[in-house]
Structure 1
Amino acid sequence: MPVTRSAHVQAFFDEATHTVTYLVADPATCQAAVIDPVLDYDPASGTAATVSADRVLDAASAQGLRISWVLETHVHADHLSAAPYVGERTGARVGIGEHVRQVQHVFRGVFNLAAVSGDGSEFDRLFRDGDQLALGELAIEVIHTPGHTPACVSYKIGDAIFVGDTLFMPDYGTARADFPGGDARALYRSIRRLLAFPDRTRLYACHDYKAPGRDTYAWESTVAQQRNGNVHVREGVTQEQFVAMRQQRDAALSTPRLMLASVQVNIRAGRWPQAEANGVAYLKIPLRRRHHSQMPLPPSPDSASPSSATPA
């Protein structure tokens, strides 16, 4: 029976997308999981590479680790997933929260993607809240943490929780909640659920954008650090205060640079659209005509966001 103990965690930061991929292993058995792997995608040329994923795979190989799971915390809007590549190289199964069905239904309509199932069958496993699976002698517990998206889940492995986009570092705050199906109230409740774990529980974020005044990237904190110091949701901040802050902040955020490409690939579990008759796969860009007088003004920059990235 899986037991609670420390997992060995290695982080791989992709500065182009500000994303952290994790290689998590059970030291006793060398069984491992990869969480939120990044595919290197260049939107200017429409080309992709596997440099970031290969760094993770090379590290696992050098340590004799056997990767059995690829775990997605949600359908990412800021990078294309390398889950299919990792799965092909290792035989690992790809899993995500069961509410990915809701996200598929929304974006299947947005992009008119008839080939997307809507039932989540593109993934090997859909997780429910409270599901547990074994990683060697460690237990992986699935925690449904909606708010950023309806399908967001966190993974508790030993004494560590991988929180996806739900929380950033304490000096940066929390995820946006304005994507389709996002809900600031649900996000607040999800965060409170995470912060109910013991003080020393390690929390690992999926992104870092460097808060003003911080010179280095960071992604690991503890429940105590978040509860006492998170600039958006520390102890004493009420749900209504949080929702008001989040709504005002989200209204000033622009669309993530890779969102149109990322979402239509990631709802397919990272698989590309089927190649057309010329052997080339294509992504779609929805076009909507606006009257000139209805054109929105450019969004104001988020006061806590670097100019080169939009928090996801």
Structure 2
Amino acid sequence: MFLQKIVAGVYGVNCYILGDEQTKKCAVLDPGGSLDEIIDIVENNEFKVDYIILTHGHGDHIGAVKELKQKTNAKILAHEDEKFILNSSKNNLTHMMGGAFEIEADEYLKDGQIVKIGNLELKIIHTPGHTPGCICIKVDDVLFTGDTLFAGSIGRTDLPGGDYDTILDSLDKLSNLDDNLKVLPGHGPASKISVEKSKNPYMQK
């Protein structure tokens, strides 16, 4: 499994390029910016981008989505409950970021769905709270958590569609996963489920 992180865009989003080295197919998770850097990594490793996968639809995570789709013709994937965010420049906050725009996904996902990238199987885990359609993505021993779970913290819940009690339910869902899973969040450093269960105050409520 090929995995490379880019701290993308002016808001410092963790964008991940996830690929299957055998089939040379890949996905780009949360391209918040830094389009040229993303393209360079894809081309230098001779990958074809099949999917652009959004853990959620806030402007800091979607800044390069349209340009990346134009260059690669990849399908945009997001959870079905994230239409509320993606389809509104007010709800996705791009109206506050200097260039309001909306996005329509090519395919809307459901909880438990499996997305295949070559030989890789990505399990979609619906974890609402930060937004209605937030997802985490499990592949092998890695869990991409977007803005649901950070090292030592969680995503804010005071934005459109956010709900504190709901995100706590989502954290409880994540706490039942394998303790050894590596947590790769949408911002900040990596962690592990076991570490967050023992040290993250929001996972102890």
1:108-119 aligned at under 5 Å gives the runs none
Q: TM-score, length-normalised on structure 2?
A: 0.87
1:107-146 aligned at under 5 Å gives the runs 107=90, 122-146=104-128
Residue aligning to 1:227: 197
Matched AA of 2:174: L
Larger RCO, structure (CA 8 Å, separation 6 or more): 1
Matched AA of 1:178: D
SS in 1 for 2:76: strand
Shift of 1:192: 1.7
Are the aligned partners of 2:9 and 2:32 in contact in 1 as well (CA < 8 Å)? no
Structure-1 separation of matches of 2:79 and 2:180: 26
Q: Deviation per CA, 1:202-224, whole angstroms, max 9, x where unpaired?
A: 1111112xxxxxxxxx2x21111
Higher alpha-carbon Rg:
1
Q: Which runs of 5+ in 1 are unaligned?
A: 1-6, 40-51, 209-217, 239-312
Question: Given the alignment of the two structures, is residue 24 of structure 1 paired with residue 6 of structure 2, yes or no?
Answer: no
Residue aligning to 1:185: 165
Question: Given the alignment of the two structures, is residue 205 of structure 1 paired with residue 185 of structure 2, yes or no?
Answer: yes
SS in 2 for 1:154: strand
Are the aligned partners of 1:106 and 1:180 in contact in 2 as well (CA < 8 Å)? no
Which runs of at least 4 in structure 1 moved beyond 6 Å after TM superposition?
A: none
Matched AA of 1:160: V
Q: Which runs of 5+ in 2 are unaligned?
A: 96-100
SS in 2 for 1:233: helix
Are the aligned partners of 2:28 and 2:51 in contact in 1 as well (CA < 8 Å)? yes
1:207-286 aligned at under 5 Å gives the runs 207-208=187-188, 218=189, 220-230=190-200, 232-234=201-203, 237-238=204-205
Shift of 1:105: 6.6
SS in 2 for 1:20: strand
Shift of 1:127: 0.6
Structure-2 separation of matches of 1:9 and 1:191: 24
Question: Given the alignment of the two structures, is residue 94 of structure 1 paired with residue 63 of structure 2, yes or no?
Answer: no
Q: TM-score, length-normalised on structure 1?
A: 0.58
2:143 to 142, 161, 170: 161
Question: Given the alignment of the two structures, is residue 34 of structure 1 paired with residue 28 of structure 2, yes or no?
Answer: yes
Matched AA of 1:125: E
Question: How many residues are aligned here?
Answer: 197
Shift of 1:148: 0.5
Are the aligned partners of 1:93 and 1:125 in contact in 2 as well (CA < 8 Å)? yes
Structure-1 separation of matches of 2:9 and 2:150: 15
Aligned-residue CA RMSD (Å) = 2.3
Question: Given the alignment of the two structures, is residue 83 of structure 1 paired with residue 65 of structure 2, yes or no?
Answer: yes
Are the aligned partners of 1:199 and 1:222 in contact in 2 as well (CA < 8 Å)? yes
Structure-1 separation of matches of 2:198 and 2:25: 34
1:73 to 27, 44, 55: 55
Structure-2 separation of matches of 1:33 and 1:106: 25
Q: Deviation per CA, 1:49-96, whole angstroms, max 9, x where unpaired?
A: xxx111111111111111110001111143552112112212211111
Structure-2 separation of matches of 1:70 and 1:145: 19
